[in-house]
Amino acid sequence: MYLLDSDAARKLCQYLLLDEFAGSLDCSFRDFAILPQLKFQLAIQHDQKALKKLGSREAVLLAQALICAAVEINLTPDAANNLLQMDRPDIDSGEAVLFAALSQGNDDKMVSGDKRAYIALSGIEGHPVVDALWPRLICLEEAVLLILRRYPFELISDRVRARSDVDISMRMAFGSSAANSQQAVTQALESYLGDLRRSTNGKYRSFSDPHPSERLAGQS
C-alpha cells in the first residue's frame, strides 16, 4: 500500500500524473491510501469548488477517481500512541497520522509532497519506530523521477510545465519560460533529493541509492 499525503495527491492530480505514478509502481488506485479529509480538502463533491482548487476538469476527475478507489487510512490505537503523541509541533496532524499509519504495516510506503515533514521527522532521535520508517518514505521529486523512468519525457515535461503554478521545485526543474532537457531535469530532481538527504542528516534514502532493493522490496 502507498500512503499519499494530501499535498502529493493534489499535485499528482493537478499534473495529470496520477495514472503514470501508479503505473511506475505497477499498482492501481486501489493500492493507494489517503486521509479521510482529502475529499473535503479538494471539495470533490462540489464541481466548481473542486475546479477552483485543482485548476482543470481533468484534475478533478482524477481526484474523484482516486478518492473513490483508494483506501481511507484508519489507525490502530497502538500506532496512534506511538507516533501521534510525540512532541513535534513542526509535524502537522495530517503528516503525523500518515507516519503513524505507516508504522502499522511493514510493507507500506508513504509519498509526501511536503519535504518539510521529512525534515521535521529527522529531528526525532533514538526512536526505533521512526528509524524503521526511513526506507519507506518517498518525496514528490522522487515520485516524478520514477515516472520519468517509465514514461516519455516529453509527455511528462509538457504536463508539468502546463501547471507552473503547482510546485516551485517542479517549475524550476522542468523550466518555466523554456523547457529544460531531460538530462537537466533529472539532474535538478536528483539535486533536490541530495538536499533532502543532507537536511535529514542522511536519513532519507532514495531509489538511486546503492541498494534500491531495500526500497522496492515488499510492494503491496
Helical packing angle, 6-14 and 57-69, nearest 10°: 140
Strands, E, within 56-106: which ranges? 71-72
**Mean pLDDT of all residues in the chain?**
88
Q: What is the pLDDT along the chain (220 residues), one digit of tens a residue?
A: 999 999 999 999 999 999 999 999 999 999 999 999 999 999 998 989 999 999 999 999 999 999 999 999 887 655 555 555 566 657 887 888 898 888 887 789 999 998 999 999 998 888 888 889 999 999 999 999 999 999 999 999 999 999 999 999 999 999 988 999 999 999 999 999 999 999 999 999 876 554 433 444 444 3
Q: Express each pLDDT in 83-93 by its tens digit.
A: 555 666 578 87
Helix (H) / strand (E) containing 2: strand 2-4
Residue with cell 509519498: 111
DSSP per residue, 13-34 = HHTT-HHHHHHHTT--GGGEEE
pTM of the predicted model as reported, rounded to 2 decimal places: 0.89
Quick one: how far is CA 8 from the chain centroid? 4
